[in-house]
Structure 1
Amino acid sequence: MSWRGVDGVPAIWEEGGLEFHAGTPEDVRVVVAAMTSEVKDGLNYDAVPWERFHHAFGPGSDLPGILTRIRHSDARRADDELELLWDTVCHQGSPSAAGALAVPFLIRIALTRPHPRALRLVGALARRPHLGDGTRTGLLRTSTPPGSLTFEPSGYVGTWSVQAARQALTADADLLLPLLDHTTPAVRTATAYALSAAASPARDRITAALHARLDAENDPVTRASLVLAIGELAWEERDTATTAHTRAWWQDPTRPAEIRMSAALAWLCLVDDPIPADLDTFLDTEATDHLATLLTPVPWLQDLAEKEGLRTALTQMRNPDDYAWIADTY
């Protein structure tokens, strides 16, 4: 017995158990790993087998053409092309195999033409679809739980697509580090979001760079984003140093409100402890309409709700029994 999705999707179920063709040319992780520096640095789109994964975006879409226009068009046209690219490779927040193939090129385009939306797309492609998950186990989770699989609407293994994008990001993370010091706050924010999805061995270098930027940062949205990025990089291994830092930050009344609030969210994700009374009091006092509005552009909160991201996260974190279904679903 074998099952196929739409044209171009490899069989994912065969008699005798699941056969996902891991390690074959149908595995997007294999294709991304095989990309040479010459292909990536030279923006050699012709060397990439886009057609092998056209199920992710439709045979009529021209991803190399879109990437070229993003790089060379005027600002308005580039924005339109980025919107099209996002809708094509990360439709409704679902990363795709074709998107993973685009990550190395998006990173290099960002070096000459930094665009917050392009950097946000890199981050979105390299992490699991959150789909409204602001729980303590979900907000900073980059990958799906071990042994769990997600599928793209076409039937392709979505878990592979995210893993491939993440490995592409991790391999080229050092290229993005200088953008943490870009003159535009939105670029710094989006860079932190993208880099926070990286895996080892880049984690330690990125975390050190984020700390250095936080010490110099004066933009509230970027500050909050840097703290959440530091937390996300620590989440998989529950890094004890980061856990201690985030606790110290939310407990420090001399810190700006946006740092304290984002640190509180990060700390809650890094520990399993019940919410302590002093943190409950802090959340009741500081989660004001003003702060919620101020933090609206923070990518992690935008992933939850356009205007109610902070409140959504706090509601889910403080009432876990009401949202247990999210962890079971995603």
Structure 2
Amino acid sequence: MLEGIDDIGWAGLEHAYGGAEDVPDMLRAACSPDPEGRERGFEDLASSLCHQGSVYAATVAAVPFLAELALHGPGGPLEPLWLLHGAADGHGPEYLECRRAVSEALPQLLGLARHADREVRRAVLWVIAACEDRSLPLLPLLRARWDEEEDDEVRADLLTALGLLEVTPTVREARSRKLLTEVVGPRTRRAAITDLLRTAPLPLPADLVDAAADAYGAAPDDETHHPWPDGRYRRLEERLLDDPEAALRAARRGMPLAWEITRAWRDREHEVLPLLTASVTGGDLCRIARVGAEVPGGGTAAWLVPFLVSPDPAERVVATYTAVRLRVPDALGLVLRLMEELPDETATLRTMPLSDEQVVPAAVEVFGEAAEPVAARVAACLRTEWVGVLRHFPHLAADRVDELVRLLPASAPVLGALGPAAGPRAARALLEGARRGDIPSALAHAKVTGDASAAVGLLRTALEGRSGEAVEAAGALGPGAAALLPALEPYLRRSTRESRASAATTIWRITGRTDDTAPVLARQIAASGAYHAPQLSALRTLTAMGTLPVEARPAVERIAHSPRRVVHDLFCDGSPSGDVAARAAARELLAVT
């Protein structure tokens, strides 16, 4: 094995970590009679040659040797086949060369399609499918194997590979349709339905949707990391989500699609919430809180009671937070009880995915002035974790200025909201905070005293250090930050759209200029397909300006009216989806322009 390995100029090739001169040693390790040595060799090869899906020039050169290992290696063919699949299915500048190299090695590997180990037979199919059109000459082999194969999992993979490679759609569809009328294994049936749904026109046929839900119940495999080419293959769940009515139909028949429906489509929360609460577990509460934030709410939630009285403090905190988002009767009473029974947990507990959201701020956000009893409890028992809610209740904060000063810098925004009423002691404390470099204290000092000089001095230094926080903070000063314009103007030419848009918003707040700031904000909105906080800020700023540049209008129309989500939050902390705020801002912008 590995004959000719030293004839290749490995040092002139690259893999994920640089020069590939170490690849021969990795390949030799993969040939080791010692199982642990082989394992290390294959781990190193996988990390270097197929790093997170990327392939390299060294990957191309290694393919013939990986094929040798699959045929003759002491550890068997499985791990080399996985690497060959990674090479054929990878991405990067060399992906076509990799695919060609693997397809050229395939003929010598075809005997493994009859290997005694079914996992080996499956891996060969994955490699064939990953080569896509280069594997078309192998269709007769796959058809022959279909007639011979008896294992349900291998037949399912065979059917998928045939479906992806078949050049005659009617032949492919007839094969899969016929299987639905026969007694076949559950995985083969699921593969047949997946194959049919992949190319079925929208809206998806109800009979196929029902069959898909039944097949999923019989074979609920996790396809999160499937081995098939992404450009052609569609997971069963993913395809159903292309049609919200089909996805809801399948969810009502037991498929776990309810949460994913709300992540993909707007205005489906009222249909999905009963599905989520029908068999709720503690881990579902944050999702229910997010969905509940977008429905009218206000009803009873008997299913929530066991979580509200749970002996687990974390579960009680998240359950109370969920009650707030659902606006259940006496939600504020539940918050007050939690503040009394579990003050430390209510203030500081972090439960994933409920990480930054807290019960007390959420109660004020959801109930507004009606949450004054909660704010009064905060004022009576000040904590750094709760103090921010008093910005919305300045009359409660005014009686606790001395205590608020002791909580600086956390209480700076609250003192700033009081303005001159905070008094000279607060002003002195805030000035000390500004001198120590605390930007919120500096901004609050300007509001309390009307003198922005301390804030301007601090922000000028921060801007020279390229601080994004300082750019946004300068905008909060408005015209009082005019002296910072020479330091801010260069940010309009920064490399990232987010930096330029943030600078444009700040400069407009200081000067009222729209000629050179509105176009920057418009480009920020128009250039990105995945909307998040910077785009939302740009939408709000253009709304305040009362202008909508032409280049941004198509994107704003999409954000305002798309039936699909345009903001896709990576994590769920129970707060409303960013898509809700984006749509509202886009609609407001269209209304004022």
Q: So what's the TM-score if we normalise by structure 2?
A: 0.37
Please report how far the alpha carbon of residue 228 of structure 1 lies from its aligned counterpart in structure 2 after TM superposition: 1.8
Q: Which residue of 2 aligns with 1:193?
A: 126
Q: 1:78 aligns with which of 38, 42, 45?
A: 38
Q: Which residue of 2 aligns with 1:69?
A: 29
Q: 1:300 aligns with which of 224, 227, 246?
A: 227
Q: Which residue of 2 aligns with 1:111?
A: 71
CA distance in 2, matches of 1:228, 1:183: 21
Q: Which residue of 2 aligns with 1:244?
A: 174
CA distance in 2, matches of 1:95, 1:200: 19
* Contact 1:119 1:190 (C-alpha < 8 Å) held by counterparts: yes
The 10-residue stretch of structure 1 (175-184 or 66-75) with the greater mean CA deviation from structure 2 = 66-75
CA distance in 2, matches of 1:108, 1:63: 15
SS at match of 2:204: coil
Please report how far the alpha carbon of residue 168 of structure 1 lies from its aligned counterpart in structure 2 after TM superposition: 1.0
CA distance in 2, matches of 1:88, 1:226: 30
Give the alignment of 1:194-273 within 5 angstroms: 194-200=127-133, 202-204=135-137, 206-234=138-166, 239-249=169-179, 251-270=180-199, 272=201
CA distance in 1, matches of 2:81, 2:224: 14
Q: Which residue of 2 aligns with 1:275?
A: 204
Q: Which residue of 1 aligns with 2:215?
A: 286
Please report how far the alpha carbon of residue 42 of structure 1 lies from its aligned counterpart in structure 2 after TM superposition: 6.0
Structure 1 residues 297, 274: closer, same or farther in 2, change over 3 A? Answer: closer
Please report how far the alpha carbon of residue 55 of structure 1 lies from its aligned counterpart in structure 2 after TM superposition: 5.1
CA distance in 1, matches of 2:206, 2:44: 47
Structure 1 residues 57, 50: closer, same or farther in 2, change over 3 A? Answer: farther
Structure 1 residues 56, 228: closer, same or farther in 2, change over 3 A? Answer: same
Cα displacement string for residues 196-227 of structure 1 (whole angstroms, at most 9, x for unaligned residues)? 223556423x2222222232223332222222
Q: CA RMSD in A?
A: 3.2
* Contact 2:129 2:135 (C-alpha < 8 Å) held by counterparts: no
Structure 1 residues 187, 162: closer, same or farther in 2, change over 3 A? Answer: same
SS at match of 2:52: helix
Larger radius of gyration: 2
Please report how far the alpha carbon of residue 191 of structure 1 lies from its aligned counterpart in structure 2 after TM superposition: 0.9
Structure 1 residues 296, 219: closer, same or farther in 2, change over 3 A? Answer: farther
CA distance in 2, matches of 1:212, 1:55: 38
Q: Which runs of 5+ in 2 are unaligned?
A: 244-263, 266-528, 531-593
Please report how far the alpha carbon of residue 73 of structure 1 lies from its aligned counterpart in structure 2 after TM superposition: 3.0
Structure 1 residues 60, 166: closer, same or farther in 2, change over 3 A? Answer: closer
CA distance in 2, matches of 1:175, 1:297: 31
Please report how far the alpha carbon of residue 61 of structure 1 lies from its aligned counterpart in structure 2 after TM superposition: 5.9
Q: Say if 2:240 is the partner of 1:318.
A: yes
CA distance in 2, matches of 1:103, 1:272: 39
Structure 1 residues 124, 243: closer, same or farther in 2, change over 3 A? Answer: farther
Q: Say if 2:87 is the partner of 1:125.
A: yes
CA distance in 2, matches of 1:316, 1:296: 10
Q: Say if 2:16 is the partner of 1:46.
A: no
CA distance in 1, matches of 2:147, 2:124: 16
Cα displacement string for residues 300-327 of structure 1 (whole angstroms, at most 9, x for unaligned residues)? 28x99xxxxxxx92321111273997xx
Give the alignment of 1:7-22 within 5 angstroms: none
Q: Which residue of 2 aligns with 1:166?
A: 99
Q: Which structure has the higher relative contact order (CA within 8 Å, separation 6+)?
A: 1
CA distance in 2, matches of 1:253, 1:297: 28
Cα displacement string for residues 251-273 of structure 1 (whole angstroms, at most 9, x for unaligned residues)? 23412211111122233334555
Q: Which residue of 2 aligns with 1:133?
A: none
The 10-residue stretch of structure 1 (223-232 or 83-92) with the greater mean CA deviation from structure 2 = 223-232
Please report how far the alpha carbon of residue 63 of structure 1 lies from its aligned counterpart in structure 2 after TM superposition: 0.8
* Contact 1:197 1:232 (C-alpha < 8 Å) held by counterparts: no
CA distance in 2, matches of 1:253, 1:233: 23
Q: Which runs of 5+ in 1 are unaligned?
A: 1-40, 130-157, 305-311, 326-330
Please report how far the alpha carbon of residue 84 of structure 1 lies from its aligned counterpart in structure 2 after TM superposition: 1.6
Please report how far the alpha carbon of residue 91 of structure 1 lies from its aligned counterpart in structure 2 after TM superposition: 1.4
Identity, % of aligned pairs? Answer: 26
Count of aligned pairs: 243
Q: Which residue of 1 aligns with 2:327?
A: none
Please report how far the alpha carbon of residue 184 of structure 1 lies from its aligned counterpart in structure 2 after TM superposition: 0.9
Please report how far the alpha carbon of residue 181 of structure 1 lies from its aligned counterpart in structure 2 after TM superposition: 0.4
Please report how far the alpha carbon of residue 296 of structure 1 lies from its aligned counterpart in structure 2 after TM superposition: 6.7
The 10-residue stretch of structure 1 (164-173 or 217-226) with the greater mean CA deviation from structure 2 = 217-226
* Contact 2:15 2:55 (C-alpha < 8 Å) held by counterparts: no
SS at match of 2:235: helix
* Contact 1:197 1:233 (C-alpha < 8 Å) held by counterparts: no
* Contact 2:194 2:212 (C-alpha < 8 Å) held by counterparts: no
Query: What one-letter code is carried by the residue in structure 2 that aligns with 1:218?
Result: E
Structure 1 residues 60, 89: closer, same or farther in 2, change over 3 A? Answer: closer
The 10-residue stretch of structure 1 (58-67 or 277-286) with the greater mean CA deviation from structure 2 = 58-67
Q: Which residue of 1 aligns with 2:398?
A: none
Please report how far the alpha carbon of residue 75 of structure 1 lies from its aligned counterpart in structure 2 after TM superposition: 3.1
SS at match of 2:220: helix
Query: What one-letter code is carried by the residue in structure 2 that aligns with 1:194?
Result: V
